[in-house]
Amino acid sequence: MNTTAAVSAANLLVKSVKSAFPKQKKNLAIVQFKQALKRRTKSHEENIDTPSLPQDVLVHIFSLLDVSSLISSSQVSRSWNLATHEGSLWRSLFNLHFSHDVLTHIHPGFDWREAFKQGRLKENVGPWAK
């Protein structure tokens, strides 16, 4: 959740607490909410600074995953997302799932991930689906 949306949500929650609770409980709830928000923000900041595995190590680990797990891994963090977009991963998966004669030409910078995605779409929506 982005910071602006989180602040807006927090402000709306504070407003609803103010209208729903008696004054004493309202103040207590607001204080507890603000403390929880500070704890969450602090822990989030600490998580940003955590070291991550080098990209080449992540790519090697991801090369052992199936397609579904690889796609799920891309949603863990920015670092993992970057590693899951490595062309060699998708080239291996493409070669594993499709015949080599599917491609007419391969040029430098070829997007293997997109080729794999298009191959899967053709596979799932072939002439037999009509």
One-letter amino acid at 35 equals Q
Question: What residue has token string 């072939």?
Answer: 126
Q: How far is the C-alpha of 1 from the C-alpha of 18, rounded, in Å?
A: 24
Please give the CATH topology (third level) of the domain spanning 55-129. Monooxygenase (1.20.1280)
Closest among 59, 116, 68, 110 to 89, alpha carbons compared: 59
Question: Would you say residue 126 has pLDDT above 60?
Answer: no
- Find the helix packing angle between 87-97 and 55-62, rounded to 10°: 10
Task: Give pLDDT tens digits for 100-109.
Answer: 665 666 777 7
Q: Report the greatest alpha carbon distance in the chain.
A: 73
What is the percentage of the chain residues whose pLDDT exceeds 90?
4
H-state helical runs in the chain: 3-20, 23-48, 55-62, 67-73, 78-84, 87-97, 112-124
Q: What is the pLDDT of residue 127?
A: 44
Q: What is the mean pLDDT of the chain?
A: 76
Q: What is the pLDDT of residue 53?
A: 80
Over residues 36-64, the mean pLDDT reads 75
Lowest-confidence pick of 1-5, 75-79, 85-89, 99-103: 99-103
Domain ranges of the chain: 3-48, 55-129
